[in-house]
Amino acid sequence: MVVLEHEEAWSKAELAEVLAELHEQHAHSTEILEAQEADLTGLLRDSGDGAGQDQADLGATSFERDHELTVLNHEREKLAQIDRALGRIDDGTYGVCESCGNPIGKMRLMAFPRATLCMTCKQREERR
């Protein structure tokens, strides 16, 4: 795995730490996804056709459903990022910026193991 010029190569312990963090995040996100999907299923079932509910109840139900969908989509994206990071570790491209091809940096990856961009590219992306 690549590192910045001033960084030491990844040790087995550091890589094991990153892998453990990614697997822990994966398990946590999977739990959240399952719970959110169950909540959303309940909301959709309970909302029915809206007969007998006033507009305030319908609005609250709609807001809650939209919120659950947002959380669900966020967790799905997070899970995809985790899977992508694990795949990059397996194929040897972990630590390479997907935008410019330069090293992301070991310290950044240890702080945020799902990172796919170096700091320069991430800052450029956030300014857009």
Inter-axis angle of helices 12-47 and 55-91, to 10 degrees? Answer: 160
pLDDT digits 0-9 by tens, 92-103: 999 999 999 999
pLDDT digits 0-9 by tens, 29-88: 999 999 988 887 877 776 655 555 666 666 777 788 788 888 899 999 999 999 999 999
Given this model, what pLDDT does residue 114 score? 97
In the chain, the percentage of residues whose pLDDT exceeds 90 is 68
**CA proximity to 84, closest of 118, 111, 116:** 116
- Structural domain count, the chain: 2
- What's the domain range around 109? 95-128
The answer to whether position 5 is within a domain reads: no
10-14 CB contacts, 8 Å cutoff, 24+ apart: 10/95, 10/106, 14/106, 14/110
The whole-angstrom separation of Cα 50 and Cα 38 is 20
Residues 89 and 99 in one domain: no
Given this model, what pLDDT does residue 1 score? 87
Residues 30 and 77 in one domain: yes
Residues 16 and 74 in one domain: yes
The answer to whether position 3 is within a domain reads: no
Give the confidence band of 9 by pLDDT, cuts at 50, 70, 90: very high
Contact 120, 100 (CB under 8 A): yes
Residues 44 and 86 in one domain: yes
